[in-house]
Amino acid sequence: MATTYQDFSGDYAAGTNYTKTITDFTPYTASEVKVKLTKDDGSIEDLTVTSSNPPTVNGTYYATSSSIIARPSNAGTNLRALRETNLTAEDIEFQAGSSIKAADLNKAQEVLRRGVEETREQKASADNEFTSAEKTKLSGIATGAEVNVQSDWNASSGDAQVLNKPTIPTNNNQLTNGAGFTTNTGTVTSVTGTAPIVSSGGTTPAISISDDSITEVKLDIHNAPSGTDKVLGYTSNGLEWVDNNNTTATNVDSAGAIMNSDLDGKGEILVGDGSGDPTALAVGTNNYVLTADSNEASGVKWASAGSTTIDDDSLGEVKLDIHNAPSNGKVLGYTTNGLEWVSQSGGGGGSGIALTDLSVTSNSAGTAALSYNNSSGVFSYTPPDLSGYSVTSHNHDSSYNNYTHPTTAGNLHIPSGGSSGQFLKYSASGTAVWAADNNTIYTHPNHTGEVTSTGDGATEIVNNIIDEANLKVSNSPVDGYFLQAQSSNTGGLTWAAVSGGGGSGISDIVEDTTPQLGGHLDCNSKHITESVSAIGTAGATGSISNSSATIYTVLTSASTSSTFTLSFLASNFPNGTSALYLVKNAGNKTIAWSNVDWIGGTAPTISTTKYSAIEFVYVSGVSSNVIGCYLGDVG
């Protein structure tokens, strides 16, 4: 039996176009194609045919004899394209006395056959078919089942009648006691309880529950306890074992944590006493320090800081905070770095006091005085004026004039020896020695950069090194200005604009944007030639450009790829220019073109025996592609 419809299952949204290709049946015309949608609720939506391609209105479809474009107005799970042959169309008309052609009979039979097929297979249409949900529902209904009805206790017939109704007693004397039933009409004399329930006894007992007697199993708890550290809490499930997340000051304190109240005194500190429970030590007396004392319970106590002294002659150089390490001949000075070992300076070639740096000048008698000029290094001595004293000759003991010079530190004489250029240097307490001056030779440095120098101190300016920033010019430069001599200005130089006339410069230079020959162009027996370049075809691609030539040749061969593509890139083809391509497909390959707009709309067939001439022109305002024009075959 022939197929007269085709289903397309899927998820379909309202207001969206869906294109489907019909492969299972063939209609005579597009008007015989109908479309239905099975909606999400199982009902059927009949779509209406439209001439809009694609459809723009929900609930319509556009059809050809081989495809549909459906735009449902509801969400659904299945599109069905079906054939409905027009049985009323007068495709064939028989006239009285006319002959009957086999083709006409076949056509009539085909129309009739299609109508029968559609009637049988489609069961009128998809809206008369059971959905899958409906089929499942029907298969679950028992044979003989009826529609649900409301039961009526008093009904004696019909679907509402309740069968096998029990007899309901109207009095309790109609009831029979069950096994173990007893009847007692006496008086209660005592009530007792079983642990953990306690009764006080008597006819009116007090009932209570013993303390600490209710176990966990007696409680109605939602879950069973698991693990440890659970607490009984009340949740949406009632009583329930939950994690113990409630941290309180009481249980934290009992666990040994340090609380705020443990340090409630100003200046208190916690001190371990060996018991595992630290002790709060109160603040000590002002200026007291915390001192270790094993006799104290806590091991420490507040005590006076006492005084600290430094013994005389006990601080060595290593104890001082000096910026650098010492070396022989250095003296301790104060610099920007603080205390620092530095070279001795002042006199004797700049590195110490030399013999020649000191001199003594004697003045006329007067008030005795000794002075020192720290600029010239000269000591001046003025002896006392003894002119008012009389001189009397006495006989003295021979020991009166025997002067002995002290030999203690600070009273020693200048040592003997020494030579020119040497200076006195510290050797020991009260002792000086002659030492050589090792820092009096000056070496002229060599300069680098714009100004260079050699060891003898001569300097020079190297070539091509002085820029504008190093010139002494009276004003700031401006682009296009030139350097002009002006003796009255600073530096004798000035940046000035180019001016015309008087032989002082070139002026009024403008670009001629519309040049004209104005006559014949004389090439002086020379030729104007165009460059020619060959494009290799060993690979799979070539370029359409005129960056290196204006005429290009392309010749394929057996080694060329099966498809050879010539591509245009605007970056290789200046706007408003052209190039001539001579292409010969000697290798009989497929030649493809990329980014080319062909005049006439079709790319040419490239000759395998001649060169096909193609002119390419690029005009960006017309197209982003290059324009190709096939001129013909040559050669």
CB atoms within 10 A of CB 53: 10
Instruction: Give the tokens for residue 549.
Output: 């030539």
Measured CA to CA, the distance from residue 386 to residue 388 in angstroms comes to 5
Identify the pLDDT of residue 587: 92
Characterize 459-496 residue by residue with b for buried, 16 or more Cβ atoms within 10 angstroms of its Cβ, and e for exposed: eeeeeeeeeeeeeebeeeeeeeeeebebeeeeeebbbb
Nearest to residue 304, comparing CAs of 293, 312, 318? 293
Q: Is 541 exposed, middle or buried (0-12, 13-18, 19+ CB in 10 A)?
A: middle
Look up residue 19 and give its amino acid: T
Contacts with 474 (C-beta within 8 Å, 6 or more apart), sequence order: 486, 489, 490, 491, 493, 494
Among candidate residues 238, 244, 196, the one with its CA nearest the CA of residue 221: 238
Q: Which two tokens stand for residue 161?
A: 């009648």
Identify the helix (H) or strand (E) that includes residue 45. Answer: strand 44-46
**What is the spatial distance between Cα 232 and Cα 210, in angstroms, rounded to a whole number?**
20
Residue type, 201: G
Bridge partners of residue 451, in order along the sequence? 461
- Decide: helix, strand or coil at residue 551: strand
* Cα angle 426-427-432, degrees, rounded to a multiple of 5: 60
Task: Calculate the alpha carbon distances from 40 to 13, 80, 478 in Å.
Answer: 10, 14, 80
Distance of CA 258 to the CA centre of its chain: 45
Give the span between the Cα atoms of 269 and 309, in whole angstroms: 30
pLDDT at 202: 73
Contact 68, 22 (CB under 8 A): yes
What Cα–Cα distance (Å) separates residue 601 from each residue in 376, 460, 567, 592, 597?
Answer: 107, 75, 17, 15, 7
- pLDDT of amino acid 552: 93
pTM: 0.25
Q: Is-contact 537 554, C-beta < 8 A?
A: yes
Q: Which residues sit opposite 292 in a β-bridge?
A: 300
Q: Length of the chain in residues, anyone?
A: 635
Which runs of E-coded beta strand occur in 504-618? 532-535, 541-544, 551-555, 563-568, 577-584, 590-594, 596-598, 611-618
Given a contact cutoff of 8 angstroms between Cβ atoms, the answer to whether 573 and 625 are in contact is no
Q: What is the pLDDT of residues 136-156, one digit of tens each?
A: 788 778 777 777 778 888 888
Cβ distance 573 to 545 under 8 Å?
yes
Distance CA 417, CA 100 (A): 160
Backbone φ and ψ for 150, nearest 5 degrees, come out as -85, 125
| pLDDT lower than 50: segments of the chain | 1, 124-127, 347-351, 501-503
Helix (H) or strand (E) holding 332: strand 330-335
Nearest Cα to Cα of residue 628 among 584, 600, 597: 597
